[in-house]
Copies of this chain bind each other. A is one copy, B any other.
Amino acid sequence: MEDINLHFNGDFHAITASHNLLASLIDNHLHWGNAAGLDPRRITWRRVLDINDRALRHTLVGLGGTAHGIPRESGFDITVASELMAILCLAEGLEDLQRRIGRIIIGWRRDGSPVTVDELGFSGALTVLLKEALQPNLVQSLEHNPVFIHGGPFANIAHGCNSLSATRAALALNDVVVTEAGFGADLGAEKFLDIKCRQSGLRPDAVVLVCTVRALKLQGGADRNALQRPDLQALRAGMVNLERHLDNLERFGFSPVVCINRFPQDGADELALIHALAMERGVRSATAEHWARGGEGALELAAAVVEQLQEGSPGVRLLYPDDCPLEEKIVTLATTLYGAAGVSYSAEAKRQLAMFGQLGFSALPVCIAKTQYSFSADPKLLGAPSGHTLPVREVRLAAGAGFVVVVCGDIMTMPGLPRHPSALDIGLDAQGRVSGLV
């Protein structure tokens, strides 16, 4: 666990190095006369570090006089928020990796025209730094099952699932491959399907929707600190959330398998309530206890999934076609998956959407950045809200990754450390083993 959490095999370091090399090359380009005519105030490529460091969110660089670059405002994100991370996870191979890197827009001129990595001639060098990182990493679970751990695009602003190269490798080597898509299914599953599957042509044969009794009680209005108490009423109320997710997955064409990730304190009547809902809707369900009992605890789920697979592939339907305007894509997701009545745009967002459309990026899928706590953009709107408005604050173009990020609300791309950072507890014990990692 420590080896994976600390450095692992260096992929994140490689992305950090490649990302920051690009930043250095851009500032170097400004320093030597700015032949490309970049507006230093409109450079959108920031720097990254694989460290939570709030003091780097807003920085000034290039200070100190004419020998030290051009003064400008910029900042750092965490490495997983790098567009290179998203690219690494979506690339079909080295050539595609370089092609996507070349397409990255690193900033804009005063006249509004974009400047790409290829215009500056940097895609080769950046790719070289990533050539090993592109290879998927095979590790094993505690029970010695093969697991690929490869890539980690920040679900806050990117598509949030593991690399395509790992998925393809796994598919070539196994009968059944399970991939995880984080956050709620309105974000994780949607992006997995509308971005990763859309770009790659892959289509899953089945979908497992994971829920917990605790989370559904929270969605049903229970107090966050009383989730371990039996509360059938809150659970029943919260199941509208589960139903919305089931509706949503059925829109994609799936008959989802409901998996209840069991916690020790979950009551049998609580579990039964959920299974009853599944039965009522005609979908399979299973209680999973792998956290407590390892692989044996997941047998029931595995059986359900295998049954589901034997029914044959569903006809997966992506939620929108490539060739519709970006606004239409946003509206589709908002009014179907999220239950919104409509979408509102800031003046800035409107300007950006129009500009990206004019520049020919309408065909890209959208990558919604919103809270994972609610179907809406308001983390306090629980259950299955409807009638709300999705507020689009800002739109960012990830031309290399191949999607348009639609920012709804405040999105953090560089976390800060808490008052008592874990670093205060981490250390080596007398045997030189790491202690304090949680």
Contact = CB atoms under 8 A, between A and B. Distances in A.
A73 B67 contact: no
Contact of A57 (B64, B72, B426): B64
B28 A417 contact: yes
A68 B53 contact: no
Q: Chain A: interface secondary structure?
A: mixed
A16 B54 CA distance: 17
A54 B28 contact: yes
B24 A53 contact: yes
Contacts of A54: 27-28, 31, 67-69
Contact of A24 (B68, B123, B417, B432): B417
Interface stretch (A128-136, A168-176, A195-203): A128-136
A398 to B, nearest CB: 21
A428 interface: yes
Number of identical monomers bound together in the oligomeric complex: 4
Interface residues of A, number: 76
A60 B71 contact: yes
Contacts of A41: 65-66, 70-71
A419 B29 CA distance: 8
B61 A55 contact: yes
Contacts of A57: 63-64, 68-69
A252 interface: no
A432 B131 contact: yes
A272 B221 CA distance: 64
Given A63-B59, A71-B72, A428 B122 contact: no
A92 interface: no
A374 B49 CA distance: 39
B63 A129 contact: no
A428 B32 contact: no
B63 A73 contact: yes
A436 interface: yes
A17 B28 contact: no
A387 interface: no
A55 B33 contact: no
A303 interface: no
B52 A24 contact: yes
Contact of A417 (B25, B68, B128): B25
A132 B10 CA distance: 12
Contacts of A30: 55
A426 B22 CA distance: 13
Nearest to A26: B55
A52 B110 CA distance: 23
A94 interface: yes
Contacts of A16: 13
**Most-contacted residue by chain B among A50, A56, A67, A432 (CB, 10 A):** A56
A131 B27 contact: no
A51 interface: yes
Contacts of A423: 21, 25, 122, 124-126
Contact of A58 (B56, B63, B424, B432): B63
Given A21-B51, A55-B62, A60-B60, 20 more contacts: A2-B128, A17-B51, A24-B55, A24-B417, A25-B417, A27-B54, A27-B55, A28-B53, A28-B54, A40-B70, A57-B69, A59-B61, A60-B71, A63-B73, A69-B416, A71-B73, A125-B426, A128-B426, A131-B428, A131-B432
In order of increasing CB-CB distance, the 4 nearest A-B pairs are: A124-B427, A58-B64, A55-B69, A13-B13
Interface of A: 2, 6-7, 10, 13-14, 16-17, 20-21, 23-25, 27-28, 30-33, 39-42, 49-73, 94, 98, 110, 121-129, 131-132, 416-417, 419, 421-428, 432, 434, 436
27 contacts: A6-B129, A10-B13, A20-B49, A20-B51, A21-B423, A24-B56, A25-B423, A27-B55, A28-B53, A28-B54, A31-B54, A39-B66, A55-B69, A55-B70, A57-B68, A63-B73, A68-B416, A71-B72, A71-B73, A94-B432, A98-B427, A121-B424, A124-B423, A125-B436, A127-B427, A131-B428, A131-B434
